[in-house]
Structure 1
């Protein structure tokens, strides 16, 4: 027996997914009920799909081991430790590559956590006397055994340090800047010029604004605010879940708050050139405010339709193949790099830490509760502390008291730390 996830668009624009088995034309009852009653109201369509992917792995394992989970639970038969071990291995197994390869720890932990939540729900759903203390103990023990299979992550502090240090290599930056200046380099066929300019402009938007991939792919013609009356060009980012104008089943969405972000006049010129001279020539393209800026150029079935997440990935991969300096580039790396450059600009302008965090929060679309602005701001304190520590180390080599310069810098750093708190 095999299983398949199918995705759909409702009439109101809502995206949803269902899980099917190979021997039944109807969606599986319990996974569907779980999603509708326990997940749908609080999770995005993409997260719901991850839940189904995790449950799909669970059902594959159960089918391979001839275990009917509903019947087992109704009989008060729960998964034993060796079965939990086997299930965890199956959940974490990579579907591609060599046998024995595993998915990354973060994804594996997500799947295990979602499977544990589903099994807990399923047991309480099908057992008629699940409220009895001894039955609840059995359900909770199974849940605990599975949760114990979560891979222990490294410290949160180490993850934050790794996050805030991510940025482009100088070779990658130089290559991107060369593409800004000459987007058509190495383009042989004239018919490829439009798609090349589209991809270069998309990467430049990510570079200049730090917006997410889903926000980029959701940009519509109405979202370009051209420069006028002394006001520079800007792009509008809107929350767009369940957009009825979007024909993509796997809809790119804005995960953060809506906002308006500035772009450079040169990018505005290239974006306008793409829209007026290249996008306009694509068959089936729309010109209304609600039509998307970036479209598919050559595929007959999707020509003129908004570019999909996978096609955007393929376009970027094509640039990586042509320009080896871009071998590590991806959309989210450009978001990290924007924050890295923003930190440098804020330091050069001597922006106070609390104001820097607020400006960063606005431009990135983070909520007021988000810890992300503080994580990136902390990089300043680390670098200042490192410089001061190095001076102290060098000073002790001379076996002399701390210099007046070091003492003054230490007092300054203490004031910055106090302000940050």
Structure 2
């Protein structure tokens, strides 16, 4: 089997690759693929493609087949092998490890049959897996010397793989965990406050740091990667209008994290309140400045815990697997909270603020302060850092449903009043 590693070059480039656990050598063809065709893609994109190849290699191991060897020997997958591969590509690997498969009963032509059933990935995930599989086989066809006749047959296999991709994979699924009960996030933020006695962290420096991180997530609606990639030279707190510049820091050589926290969205400068500016100043001057190694790099948030990473930029793993879970353990109600939920909640509050602004103007569209739907979309696009206005649609779904449900209840109320008056 193979494990996924990321090599950090001296120029800051992150190079993901699959390493054979037995030989400790990089897998040849997947590494060649990354080198020749994927190298200038986003690191997370490359990692996601290699995770798919890891899953493919598990299927190869179970079926005693290697796709690259088949191509070398100009052999094609049989129909049954393809069906097996398609089933494998829709299995949810994470859930499969946690739950055993179940036997599902089917009746065909009067006969009862049982087949193994595993948890499935989402349609979009399945689409991406099959796309990666077809791209990888296409790469093999170009990298390995094969006859024209076999190449033609291989192209038909690739077309068949693409044809098995879900057609409606782009339909967004609104998960229940993306909707928090009103007030729950405020309760979470109250616990995260450095002065709250129920805050699960003991060290005051860690409390101050974590409180500031959650404040920025909630008040700015930024992504976790943007939060952890904030640099001190991009913070302007010594002016009447304090702000933070969110920059793309891909392949930054001063960042010691192999799995680098980076901004996924466009660069933009966001204004911050004087209160947030004071929290940042307090953290930098009274806590961060006293930690060794922290002065060796420009990243705002650093590790406070003693060890080899003391003073280094906080890793995505530490934030996801230590800081957030520790906060969630305080109360079972917090179990549905995750870093990206702050972005969803910010968008909900933004929509409410727009409505409140327009309601205060009696929805007078000619007023200079009235915010039209078009203007709102442009504002949201800038603040979120989206390339397209369409990117914000998924974040606005909850508010649309909230408004629709409110109108529906008003319709029902009006109808009931008419019935009562008639009676």
In 1, Cα distance between equivalents of 2:11 and 2:68: 34
* Structure 2 residue 390 is matched with structure 1 residue 371: yes
Q: Does 1:304 align with 2:304?
A: no
Match of 2:70 among 54, 69, 72: 72
Q: How far apart, CA to CA, are the structure 1 residues paired with 2:288 and 2:119?
A: 42
Map 1:185-334 onto structure 2 (within 5 A): 185-186=197-198, 192-228=203-239, 230-231=240-241, 233-286=242-295, 290-313=297-320, 314-334=322-342
Q: CA RMSD in A?
A: 3.0
The 3 A distance-change label for structure 1 pair 163 and 347 is farther
How far the C-alpha of 1:51 sits from its partner, in A, is 1.1
Q: What is aligned with 1:356?
A: 376
Contact 2:5 2:16 in 1 (8 A): yes
Q: What does residue 366 of structure 2 align with?
A: none
Could you tell me how far apart the structure 2 residues matched to 1:5 and 1:127 are? 28
Question: Which runs of 5 or more residues in structure 1 are unaligned?
Answer: 401-421
1:153-190 Cα shifts (integer Å, max 9, x gaps) = 5772x63xx37994432342231342465544235885
The 8 Å contact of residues 127 and 169 in structure 2, kept in 1 or not, is answered as no
Write the distance in 2 (CA, Å) between the matches of 1:224 and 1:256: 18
Q: Which residue of 2 aligns with 1:141?
A: 156
Contact 1:236 1:259 in 2 (8 A): yes
| TM superposition shift of 1:207 | 0.2
Q: In structure 1, the residue corresponding to 2:98 is in which secondary structure?
A: coil
Gaps of 5+ in 2: 102-117, 359-370
Check conservation: 1:166, 1:340, Cα contact below 8 A. Answer: no
CA positional deviation for 1:389: 6.2
Go from structure 1 to structure 2 and tell me whether the alpha carbon gap of 1:31 and 1:297 turns closer, same or farther (over 3 Å shift): same
| Rounded Cα–Cα distance in structure 1 between residues aligned with 2:201 and 2:411 | 61
Query: Post-superposition shift, 1:52?
Result: 1.2
Cα offset, 1:354, TM superposition? 0.9
Higher relative contact order (CA 8 A, sep 6+): 1
- Distance in 2 (CA, whole Å) between partners of 1:155 and 1:33 is 30
In the superposition, the TM-score normalised over structure 1's length comes to 0.81
The farther-off stretch of 329-338 and 144-153 is 144-153
Pairs within 5 Å for 1:74-93: 74-91=72-89, 92-93=91-92
Distance across 1 between alignment mates of 2:337 and 2:291: 28
**Partner residue of 1:58?**
56
Answer whether contact 1:164 1:336 (CA < 8 A) is retained. no
Provide TM-score, normalisation by structure 2.
0.81
Please, which moves more after superposition, 391-400 or 291-300?
391-400
Q: Which moved more, 1:389-398 or 1:311-320?
A: 389-398
What does the per-residue CA deviation read over 1:271-329, in whole Å, with 9 as the maximum and x for residues that have no partner? Answer: 2222222222323321x7x5211111114010110000010111111011123332211
Kept in 2, the 8 Å contact 1:179–1:200? The answer is no
Aligned to 1:343, the other structure's residue is in SS state helix
Q: CA deviation at 1:388?
A: 5.8
- Against the structure 1 CA distance between its residues 207 and 383, is the aligned structure 2 distance closer, same or farther, given a 3 Å change threshold? closer
The alignment partner of 2:340 has SS state of helix
